[in-house]
Amino acid sequence: MRKLIRLLSIGAVLALAACSPAPTAVQPTEPPTIEPPATVVVVEMPTASVSMPYPAPGSTDQSPGQPTVAPISGYPAPGQPTAGQPTPEPTSEINEATMKAMSELARQKLAEELEISVDQIKVVTADPTYWSDTSLGCPQPGMTYSQIVTPGYRVTLVVGNDVYTYHTDTKQTVVRCEL
């Protein structure tokens, strides 16, 4: 009886193997030809007007008595694009009015932290950027963040000779980023 069961089992396996499709050789194909883009469009961001209390991003104008701000390690100099990151195009989210509003929020937050008047704080730069997630480039240990590209600004503030960096979105979030 055992021999019969073994023979039937082997026969069933062979029958199933015979019913499966035969392997076929795959012919290699030529890689697709990638054509370069026809045109490249360069869009410049809005710059600060003369009436603004701080220089336009990338400006080298220095007011008398204003401290010189050296580039921070790991970040490009103010006004320079971030390596590997496109310069944001003007949108309804990235614009001069939003830049001014978020710079003012950063000034207010720093004034609260230092317990000083907002008038003592100068905005050095407010560079538009895209953050890779909702941490705005300043993740905190133990926190989780949505992996959503977030438009915003890197705002550099000066109080006396001290330099402070804030990262913002375009809505209401302002985070002091200590490097």
Q: What is the pLDDT of residues 146-174, one digit of tens each?
A: 999 999 999 999 999 999 999 999 999 99
Instruction: Using the Cα atoms of residue 94, residue 97, residue 101 and residue 107 in order, give the sign of their dihedral.
Output: positive
Structure tokens at 57: 């991003």
Instruction: Read off the pLDDT of residues 50-68 as tens digits, 9 standing for 90 and up.
Output: 334 444 444 455 544 444 4
Q: Is 86 helix (H, G, I), strand (E, B) or coil?
A: coil
- Residue 91: band (very low, low, confident or very high) from pLDDT cuts 50, 70, 90: low
H/E stretch holding 19 reads helix 2-19
Residue 123 in contact with residue 63, Cβ under 8 Å?
A: no
Q: What is the dihedral of CA 125, 128, 134, 140, to 10 degrees?
A: -30
Task: Please tell me the distance from the alpha carbon of residue 179 to that of residue 69, in angstroms, as a whole number.
Answer: 15
Q: Which among 174, 121, 122, 125 has a CA at the least distance from the CA of 152?
A: 174
Q: pLDDT value at position 25?
A: 60
Question: Cβ of 67: how many Cβ atoms within 10 Å?
Answer: 14
